[in-house]
Amino acid sequence: MPELPETETIARDLHATIAGACVTGLVVLRADVLRPPVSTRAATARLRAKLRDRTITRVWRRAKSVVLSFDDLWHLVVTPRFTGALILDTPGAPDDYACLRLQLGDERELRYTDVRRLGTVAFLDAEAFAQWSERLGPEPLDPEFTAERFSGCLRGSRRAIKSVLMDQSRLAGVGNIYANEALWRAGIRPARRASALTRIERASLHRELIAVLREAVDARGTSFRDYRDAFGARGGYASQLKAYGRGGLPCPRCGTALMSSHSIDARATVWCAACQR
């Protein structure tokens, strides 16, 4: 699913291209992606009326979600999850999996498309948005995300360090791909208890986590199957991965065959038994 680098890429692209645009209409094709659920035509019409004539002032990212902020402090929060995508296109462009079409005043359209419809779209006022955001952990790319603050995210947890890295209430935006990569780069075994890491190990993991996220943002994210940016293009970071998706292949650092397991949160974990301790 899109993680921090992918949603950051989408948000930056959209901010550069649609900030200042006015919403002129909304077409709801798959209402089951809306939160709270909208089940009647009247409810859909009310949502359409709420969005009409609002100006998009900012597009940005929070955790793994893309946020469209409007001039009156309302926010459209799009969480793509596994197969969702936000595509800027011409109005009515063919798309068998389109869920929502947000029509803009400059004769463009922002389309939310989702093959499996596991992603969500929520229209939140300032209070609801604040409540949603407060449930999330700190942002790894925030300048204030110091090694000390990162240590606070890990403190007291007996869970596997990889599981803690992916816990959005402790740390926002990190998912399976970049948790695997950061732990490999820091030489830390994913199953280690978070509370057992030494100060030096925490500092190393903090440094490598930020580095891998920044590198992935520079490469416009990682595409295997579904992820596309706002213009439909693939991310370029897959060729730089050292651990994720490479189970059974030689470790790039020591040559030992990489191990692979689904024992942590039923997600694919890849590590080197020789050089991750």
Structure tokens at 193: 């208890």
Same domain for 127 and 19: yes
The verdict on whether 140 is a catalytic residue reads no
User: What's the CATH number where 120 sits?
Assistant: 3.20.190.10
Same domain for 160 and 256: yes
pLDDT tens digits, one per residue of 161-207: 999 999 999 999 999 999 999 999 999 999 999 999 999 999 999 99
The verdict on whether 139 is a catalytic residue reads no
Domain annotation covers residue 277: no
- pLDDT value at residue 67: 98
The verdict on whether 64 is a catalytic residue reads yes
pLDDT tens digits, one per residue of 51-77: 999 999 999 999 999 999 999 899 999
Residue in 3, 6, 8, 109 annotated catalytic: 3
Q: What is the mean pLDDT of residues 89-95?
A: 94
Residue in 2, 5, 80, 140 annotated catalytic: 2
Question: What's the one-letter identity of residue 102?
Answer: L
Residue in 50, 159, 214, 267 annotated catalytic: 267
Q: Are 185 and 211 in contact (CB under 8 A)?
A: yes
With a cut of 90, say whether residue 78 has pLDDT above it: yes
- pLDDT value at residue 38: 80
Domain annotation covers residue 142: no
> Up-side HSE of residue 249: CA atoms within 13 Å toward CB?
10
**Residue whose C-alpha is closest to residue 1's, from 239, 185, 194, 176:** 176
Same domain for 154 and 256: yes
Q: Are 136 and 66 in contact (CB under 8 A)?
A: no
The verdict on whether 127 is a catalytic residue reads no
Residue in 54, 61, 62, 64 annotated catalytic: 64
Question: How many domains, in total, are found in the chain?
Answer: 2
- Sequence length of the chain is 277
Same domain for 251 and 162: yes
Q: Could you tell me the residue range of the domain that residue 174 belongs to?
A: 147-271
Same domain for 166 and 109: no
Domain annotation covers residue 139: no
Q: Are 110 and 129 in contact (CB under 8 A)?
A: no
With a cut of 90, say whether residue 117 has pLDDT above it: yes
